[in-house]
Every structure is written in structure tokens, then in C-alpha cells.
């Protein structure tokens, strides 16, 4: 009997019609595009689900009758309840590393655009102003301090790129050996030190109970008035209202944001109407190479699970009879 596989993606993505990882398997592929389609019946009878930001909480997971794996086509997996899946004998996987270089490059692009005041310069030129004075002072990036909160794959890649440009790099990550940081020329630091000393604070942590809203009013109060916040990780790491209040109070100079707590934002979202905030539409991950890789990686994990194997990148442990 053929395996039913549901691929659920956001409405701006089109997963490939064929996936090499499924060659040799008898599969029926079903697609759920966007978040407005009622896919309850498809999910209920699915043997496997590949999902991109579609939420599977305990209630949703308990309705899955045959599912063996929920494969997140993303690095983050905060939208799937790992414990509930484990209780039902369902593997959960993610795709760590598929877009490491893309996110690191996007992060550096954000930092350099703020360092050189590129959004402001573009606006000046459009207004007919051919003068550098409105965006000065402009400091050389060499010797400026980049503070990383999170030093996993992406944090390490950002650090390497930033150091090549001459940045001093601080990093806070209680789960990484400080010796590894020092060996890479990165200075281990507490979160408070990163916030106090950095000219650019860049977030690279997963969204967990521990990190949820960790950038709040108290955190912003520690930052330098000339500093910038960069977030290419998860929107809910930041209390959005607190960031806006801090900018209005002059506690920091600006922010560059690729992720929001709720996406897409409403047209009246304050971030979209504040010139101090540079927003991109959750595209830090994006390249043609990464887009191809993420579906194949997720499909590979699904193929393994359907054949009774433990998938690589498994996030949970299950007890399931063969």
C-alpha cells in the first residue's frame, strides 16, 4: 500500500513536484499550501508530514492516526510539540545547517547596511539630497564590536565573516565551550556584557521557553544609544513593544529584522512605519540552493522513518514497535 505524505508549506513556497529521496518508494504526495486550507483529513490519514511553520500542537498531533514522522523543513522547530509527538511514537526532525551560509550572509548584510546607513542614504537620494552629512558620523567597521547571543552553526558563521572584516566579536552561549570560542578568536561574554559593549547585537538562538522574549525592556536599557539590534533567528525572542519603546526613548539607534512574532505582519504593524527599523520578509534563509536542499533533506528523513529507521536530525526519542 502506498504511503500518504503531506507536504505543508507557506503560500509563498512551491515544493518540488518530485523528490529524489522518495525514489523506490510507493508514495502519494499531497500538498497543503498556505494556512487557510482545512487539511484535517489529509493529516489524519498521513503516514508522514513535511511541514514548514504549520503548527502541530498536542491536540493536532493526537488526531494523527498513522503518522510516523513530522519533518520540519526548517532549522527551527518551535511549532511542533516534541513531547506530544514522542508520546504518539512520531519522530520529529529539522534541517539544521541547510541555510547556515545564507542566514550568516544576510546577517552581515544587515550589519553593514546599518554601519554604512544605506537605507537612510537611499532615502536621501530619492529626496534629491546629494550630501553625506545627514548620515554622519560613519565609522569604519574595523574595531567595532559585534555581540552574538547564540554561538551555534549560524553564530559561528557570522563570527567568521565578521572577523574577516575586522570586527571584535563577543559571544554569549552557555551551551558552548568557551575554549571553542577563544580558538576562533571570539571573546566569551555574559549576555549583559554583550548588550553593554556591542555596537551590533545579533540574535542566533532557537526559540525556547528560556529564550522567549529575552530581549525585553531591561535588556534594551543596557544597550548603547548608538547600537543596533539584528534578528534573523525568531521573532518571539524580542518583545516588539519594548523594542519600539526603546527606539523612541533613544536607548538604541535602530534594528534590522527578518523575523516577526506573527507573520506576515498587518499593514499597520509599527515596524513597517519606523525608519529606524529595516525589515525583510523572512528571507534570510533564501537561496535557490537552500530551497532545493531543505525539501530533499526533509524527504530523506521521511524515507528513513517510513522504512523503520531512526532518521538523522531526530529531535525526540520514541518507543515504537517495528
Note the pLDDT tens digit of each residue in 90-144. 999 999 999 999 999 999 999 999 999 999 999 999 999 999 999 999 999 999 9
Q: How many CA atoms lie within 13 A of 223 on its CB side?
A: 31
212 is catalytic: no
Give CA–CA dist 17/6, Å, rounded: 12
Average pLDDT of the segment spanning 186-201: 98
Break the chain into its structural domains and give their ranges: 3-98+287-306, 100-279
The helix/strand/coil state of 135 is: helix
Fold held by 3-98+287-306? Rossmann fold (3.40.50)
Is the pLDDT reported for residue 53 higher than 90?
no
pLDDT for 13 equals 75
213 is catalytic: no
Is the pLDDT reported for residue 194 higher than 70?
yes
pLDDT for 161 equals 98
Greater confidence (10 vs 65) lies with 65
Average pLDDT of the segment spanning 197-201: 98
pLDDT band at 293 (very low <50, low <70, confident <90, very high): very high
pLDDT for 14 equals 73
Active-site position among 263, 289, 292, 312? 263
Give CA–CA dist 227/68, Å, rounded: 47
**Interior angle at CA 175, CA 94 and CA 243, nearest 5:** 80
Active-site position among 68, 234, 240, 276? 234
pLDDT digits (tens, 9 = 90+) for 148-161: 999 999 999 999 99
Is the pLDDT reported for residue 298 higher than 90?
yes
Mean pLDDT is lowest, of 9-13, 255-259, 272-276, for 9-13
pLDDT digits (tens, 9 = 90+) for 161-183: 999 999 999 999 999 999 999 99
Nearest to 68 by CA among 14, 1, 6, 19: 6
Place of cell 512551491: 14
pLDDT for 38 equals 87
Active-site position among 54, 68, 117, 282? 282
Mean pLDDT is lowest, of 8-22, 67-81, 214-228, 263-277, for 8-22
The overall average pLDDT reported for the chain is: 95
Is the pLDDT reported for residue 196 higher than 70?
yes
178 is catalytic: no
Give CA–CA dist 261/241, Å, rounded: 11
Sheet holding 254-257, edge to edge: 187-188, 168-172, 145-149, 200-203, 228-231, 254-257, 277-279
pLDDT for 320 equals 59
pLDDT for 321 equals 54
- The reply to whether 3-98+287-306 and 100-279 are identical in fold is yes
Average pLDDT of the segment spanning 221-242: 98
Evaluate whether 316 touches 294 at the Cβ level (below 8 Å).
Answer: no
- CATH code: domain 100-279 is 3.40.50.720
Amino acid at each position: 500500500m502506498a504511503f500518504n505524505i503531506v507536504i505543508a508549506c507557506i503560500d509563498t513556497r512551491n515544493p518540488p513536484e518530485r523528490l529524489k529521496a522518495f525514489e523506490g518508494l510507493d508514495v502519494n504526495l499531497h500538498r497543503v499550501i498556505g494556512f487557510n486550507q482545512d487539511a484535517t483529513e489529509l493529516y489524519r490519514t498521513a503516514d508522514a508530514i513535511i511541514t514548514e511553520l504549520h503548527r502541530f500542537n498536542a491536540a493536532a498531533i493526537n488526531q494523527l492516526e498513522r503518522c510516523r514522522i513530522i519533518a520540519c523543513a526548517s532549522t527551527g522547530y518551535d511549532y511542533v510539540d516534541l513531547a506530544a509527538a514522542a508520546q504518539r511514537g512520531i519522530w520529529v526532525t529539522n534541517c539544521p545547517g541547510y541555510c547556515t551560509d545564507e542566514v550568516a550572509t544576510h546577517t552581515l548584510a544587515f550589519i553593514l547596511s546599518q554601519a554604512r546607513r544605506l537605507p537612510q542614504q537611499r532615502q536621501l537620494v530619492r529626496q534629491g539630497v546629494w550630501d553625506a552629512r545627514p548620515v554622519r558620523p560613519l565609522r569604519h567597521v574595523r574595531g567595532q564590536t559585534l555581540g552574538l547571543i547564540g554561538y551555534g552553526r549560524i553564530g559561528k558563521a557570522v563570527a567568521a565573516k565578521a572577523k574577516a572584516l575586522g570586527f571584535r566579536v563577543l559571544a554569549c552561549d552557555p551551551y558552548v565551550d568557551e575554549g571553542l570560542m577563544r580558538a576562533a578568536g571570539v571573546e566569551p561574554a555574559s549576555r549583559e556584557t554583550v548588550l553593554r559593549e556591542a555596537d551590533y547585537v545579533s540574535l542566533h538562538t532557537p526559540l525556547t521557553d528560556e529564550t522567549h522574549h529575552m530581549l525585553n525592556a531591561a535588556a534594551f536599557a543596557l544597550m548603547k544609544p548608538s547600537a543596533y539590534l539584528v534578528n534573523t533567528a525568531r521573532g518571539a525572542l524580542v518583545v516588539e513593544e519594548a523594542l519600539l519603546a526603546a527606539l523612541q526613548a533613544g536607548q538604541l539607534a535602530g534594528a534590522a529584522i527578518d523575523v516577526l512574532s506573527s507573520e506576515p505582519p498587518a499593514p499597520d504593524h509599527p515596524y513597517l512605519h519606523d525608519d529606524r527599523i529595516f525589515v525583510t520578509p523572512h528571507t534570510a534563509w533564501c537561496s535557490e540552493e537552500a530551497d532545493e536542499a531543505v525539501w530533499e533533506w526533509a524527504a530523506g528523513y521521511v524515507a528513513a522513518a517510513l522504512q523503520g529507521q531512526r532518521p538523522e536530525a531526530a529531535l525526540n526519542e520514541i518507543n515504537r514497535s517495528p
